[in-house]
Amino acid sequence: MRRSIKEVISQLRSGSVTRARLYDLSGLDQAEVREVEAVWRDLPVRVRREVILTLVEVAESDFEADFGAVFRIALDDPDATVREAAVEGLWEDEDVRLVPRFAAFLREDPAPNVRAAAAASLGRFLLLGELGKIRPLPHRQAYEALLEACRSVRETLEVRRRALEAIAYSGEEEVADLISEAYRHPEEKMRISAVFAMGRSADERWATYVLRELMNPNPEMRFEAARACGELGLEEAVATLIELVEDVDAEVQEAAIWALGQIGGDEARSTLKRFLRSENEALREAARDALRELEFLHGDLGALLLPFDFFDEDDEGEEDFL
């Protein structure tokens, strides 16, 4: 049973609230929301930052926790770090009433980190609109705000990058032009975002470009290219992705493993099965997840119900398991 919200507020005021007690801020009713809202701005900025950042961390690891009411209160916070975290905390919220709020943040917030977070969040609503899951008006509001940010010569590079990545969900031809322009940008960070956007677009016109970047000297670019190959389902990338599973960069390795699971095929399956026996726990887990995804997308769904240690390592039948 939840303890009195007044006790939580008392601890907030004292600056000594524990992580466990913050769970009491989950699923607030309207009366409790008003009580928290009444004291929120009077809390020291250090406490507000600590609380909101902890709530974001908890929400990412515990899907039953619902701090949406607190995140909404924090959207009005005078501190940019708190506002940014509040936007990020609402990453799964599909309430279309957030669209004009995030669009206003993207256009008007004085802090670039808040504008960047708003751009990323608007991408969620753009995707929902592309899938026909929300009304045309909020979909259009999200699109126009992101398009404006992409085109703004006064906007920071980071905000324009996030806006490009978010708007890539749209199939509009002017978005393809933005991606093409970004790929030719003098700043490598923008080119990396262009490759990210190529994958997110699900448009195979970009195949040549993402394949080219798989062997880029920059591991960040290799990572995004591998992910993009997986999102685009590029079978011609399999041989190079298999090489990247042995990359010097751990994140590139995991991206290559994920992509192989998305693309499928005998070579991908064999490689992923080999890494089930890796001494590296992260790679084993990545291979396990990728194999399950491969079978879900391309194979025998019945295999998903079997454990990965169903066969002994030396069992000849293991090659036929997945």
Indicate the domain borders of the chain. Answer: 1-89, 216-322
Q: How many CB atoms lie within 10 A of CB 204?
A: 12
Task: Convert the pLDDT of each residue in 202-232 to its tens digit.
Answer: 999 999 999 999 999 999 999 999 999 999 9
The pTM for the full model equals: 0.91
Q: List CB contacts of 150: < 8 A, sequence separation 6 or more.
A: 160, 163, 164, 167, 178
Task: Give the tens place of pLDDT for each residue, 80-121.
Answer: 999 999 999 999 999 999 999 999 999 999 999 999 999 999
Q: Report d(CA 192, CA 93) in Å as an integer.
A: 27
Amino acid (1-letter code) at residue 144: E
DSSP 3-state percent helix, strand, coil across the chain (nearest 5):
70, 0, 30
CA atoms within 13 A on the CB side of 308: 16
Query: CB atoms < 10 A from the CB of 139, how many?
Result: 22
**CATH among 3.40.190.10, 2.40.30.10, 1.25.10.10, 3.10.450.50 for 216-322:** 1.25.10.10
